[in-house]
Chains A and B, each alone.
Chain A
Amino acid sequence: MKSMLKFVFVLVVLLLASSIVFAGDGPTTESYSIWIGGHYTEFSDYAKKVGEYNKGDNETLPEFALNYLSTGSNSIFRFTSHYYDNKNAFAKLQSTISDKMKLSVQYRSLLKQEGQDLLTNIEAREYLPATDALSGKMLTHDIQDPNADYNTHRQEILTKFSLLLSEKNNVRLNATHRMILKNGHEQKIASTHCFSCHLTSMSAEVNNTQHNLEVGVDADVANFNIGYQFGYRLYDPQNSKSITYYDDARHPTNGGSGGEFGPRVIYEDTEAEFSVVPKTEKMSHKVKFKRNVGQGYLAGVIGYASAENKFTSLKTNSYSSIFNYATFLDMKTKLITKVALSKFDSDSIYIDLPTFREGLADSNYVDFDFTRYSALNRTNVNLSAELIKRMNAKTTLSGLIGYDIVNRDNYPTVDDGLSTKKLYLQGKLKYRQGLSMRSSLKVRFEKISDPFVSGRGFFEEAGHGDARLEPLVPTSNWVFYFQRESLRYQDITTLPTQVLSFDWNMSYNPSMKLSATFGLKGKLDKNDDLDSLDVEHSSFIPSITVMYNPTERFSMHTGYSYNYDKSRLPITVAVFDG
Chain B
Amino acid sequence: MKNKVCSGLLLMIVFVILLTSQSILAGVSDEVCSSCHDEVTSDFGATAHGIYFSSKSHLSDATCETCHGSGIDHIEDGNPEMIINPANSGQFGAKELCLTCHKSHKFNNWNFSAHGNADLTCADCHTVHAKVEKHVVKRSSDNCLKCHTDVRASLSMPSHHPIGEGKLECVDCHGAHGEPARLTMDNSGAELCYSCHAEKEGPFVYEHAPVMEDCMICHSPHGTIADNLLKQSEPSLCLSCHPMHFHATVVSVDGDFATPQAPERAGTSDYDSMERGFTTKCTQCHTEIHGSDLPSQATSTGGQALTR
Contact = CB atoms under 8 A, between A and B. Distances in A.
B241 A322 contact: no
Interface in A144-202: 172, 180, 188-194, 196-197, 199
B5 interface: no
Interface stretch (B7-15, B17-25, B61-69, B292-300): B292-300
Nearest to A274: B308
Interface in A45-94: 49-50, 52-54, 69, 71, 73-76, 78, 88, 90
Contacts of B198: 210, 233, 235, 280, 282
Contacts of B203: 307, 309, 314-316, 346-347, 374, 376
A161 to B, nearest CB: 14
A570 B240 contact: yes
A131 B194 CA distance: 53
A368 B300 contact: yes
Nearest to A491: B241
Contact of A263 (B194, B266, B294, B299): B299
Interface in A312-356: 312, 314-316, 318, 320, 322, 324, 326, 331-332, 334, 336, 338, 340, 342, 344, 346-347, 349, 351, 353-354, 356
B241 A494 contact: yes
Given A99-B52, A574-B249, A276 B276 contact: no
Contacts of B251: 126-129, 576
Contacts of B188: 318, 320, 342, 344
A471 interface: no
Given A76-B132, A324-B180, A375-B209, A351 B300 contact: no
Contacts of B133: 31, 69
A356 B180 CA distance: 50
B258 to A, nearest CB: 8
Contacts of B88: 435
A330 to B, nearest CB: 11
Interface in B243-276: 243-257, 259-269, 272-274, 276
Contact of B298 (A266, A316, A372): A266
B287 A188 contact: yes
Interface size class of B (residues with CB under 8 A): 35 or more
A263 to B, nearest CB: 7
Contacts of A122: 284
Interface in B90-106: 90, 92, 103-105
A4 to B, nearest CB: 18
Most buried by A among B92, B269, B288, B296: B92
Contacts of A69: 132-133
Interface in B125-179: 130, 132-134, 142, 145-147, 149-150, 152-154, 156, 158-159, 162, 165-168
Contacts of A351: 205, 295, 302-303
A268 B209 CA distance: 28
B202 A316 contact: yes
A443 to B, nearest CB: 14
A393 B263 contact: no
A499 interface: no
A139 B297 contact: no
B80 to A, nearest CB: 7
A253 B253 contact: no
Contacts of A31: 133
A375 B92 contact: no
B281 interface: yes
A470 interface: no
B105 A253 contact: no
A116 B214 CA distance: 28
Contacts of A139: 247, 250, 252
B293 A312 contact: yes
A480 B146 contact: no
A91 to B, nearest CB: 13
Contacts of B307: 191, 193
A29 B241 contact: no
B185 A125 contact: no
Contacts of B111: 297, 326, 336
A252 interface: yes
Nearest to B267: A576
Nearest to B143: A557
B260 A458 contact: no
Contact of B186 (A117, A303, A386): A303
A399 B65 CA distance: 35
A453 B118 CA distance: 34
Given A136-B265, A368-B299, A440-B119, A434 B81 contact: yes
Given A126-B267, A266-B299, A563-B154, A574 B274 contact: yes
Given A73-B54, A74-B54, A521 B149 contact: yes
A75 B28 CA distance: 30
15 contacts: A90-B166, A121-B281, A127-B251, A210-B198, A265-B297, A284-B186, A312-B205, A314-B203, A372-B206, A380-B187, A382-B187, A552-B39, A574-B269, A576-B249, A578-B246
Given A191-B307, A326-B111, A569-B236, 16 more contacts: A74-B51, A117-B284, A122-B284, A126-B267, A129-B251, A251-B262, A267-B295, A280-B198, A282-B201, A316-B202, A344-B188, A351-B303, A454-B241, A457-B243, A562-B153, A572-B242
List of 8 A-B pairs having minimum Cβ-Cβ separation, nearest first = A74-B55, A543-B149, A254-B262, A561-B153, A454-B241, A235-B198, A482-B300, A458-B243
